[in-house]
Amino acid sequence: MALYGSTYAGYGFGTLVTVVIAYGILDLIVNGRWFNIAYLIETPSPYFWASMGIGLCIGLSVIGAAWGILLTGVSIVGAAVKTPRIRTKNLISIIFCEVVAIYGLIVAIVFSSKLSNAIPVSGWSREALYAGYAMFWAGLTVGMANLACGVCVGVVGSSCALADAADPQLFVKVLVIEIFGSIIGLFGLIVGLLMTGRVTPFK
């Protein structure tokens, strides 16, 4: 498995470097400039950046939540075959994972309210470009934080279910660890909302 991983990484990284250098040489030959990153960043409409941020925000948050529910649910169901008393109490771990998806939903809805149709007269205004970039990275922040948080809460919730099945007084103690895990998603939500706090809707 480690050999496969290093082979994939080696081939993938080599391909990436080759493609990037080839693009640079092509751009140099055709346009006479070497790696014009600003052109790649400024030319797409800010609606592209904003929409990708929103889509990735909800998508990655739900992937994290689903991964967590998957991990926790399997452990609850497996352990409850012999100790069915644990099933109702351990649903709180599932709810912690669900809350992660709700964070992503809230941020996606808040960002979508900042989108409005605007005609760019003589190019995009600086506010519009700022709005696009901020919403892209804020959406990605929230999405990646919720992805990590969902997996974290899922793993701890799975351990919580198995510990509860073994010894009932362990449940509350492991739940405290799970609460520490779920504030990771809250950090992402706070930073995402701070980033777009000064974004004015497109006009």
Partner 1 sequence: MSGPTVYCPVYSPLFGALGCAAAISLSCFGAAYGTAKSGVGIATMGVLRPDLVLKNALPVVMAGIIGIYGLVVAVLLSSGLSRDMTLFASFIQLAAGLGQGLSGLAAGYAIGVVGDAGVRGSAQQPRLYVGMILILIFAEVLGLYGLIVGLILNTRANGASCT
**Given the rule CB under 8 A, which residues bind partner 1?**
45, 47-48, 50-52, 54-60, 62-63, 65-67, 69-70, 73-74, 76-78, 80-82, 84, 87-88, 91, 94-95, 97-98, 101-102, 104-105, 108-109, 112, 115, 117-120
Q: String of b and e for 119-147 (b: at least 16 CB within 10 Å)?
A: eeeeebbebbbbbbbbbbbbbbbbbbbbb
* Among the listed residues 78, 83, 58, 95, the one whose alpha carbon sits nearest the alpha carbon of residue 170: 83
Pick the closer one to partner 1 by CB: 51 or 159.
51
Sole residue written with tokens 């809250």: 186
Pick the closer one to partner 1 by CB: 70 or 191.
70
Pick the closer one to partner 1 by CB: 124 or 181.
124
State the minimum distance, in angstroms, from the CB of residue 167 to partner 1: 20
Give dist(CA 92, CA 8) in Å, integer: 39
State the minimum distance, in angstroms, from the CB of residue 17 to partner 1: 27
Pick the closer one to partner 1 by CB: 54 or 162.
54
First to last CA, the chain: 53
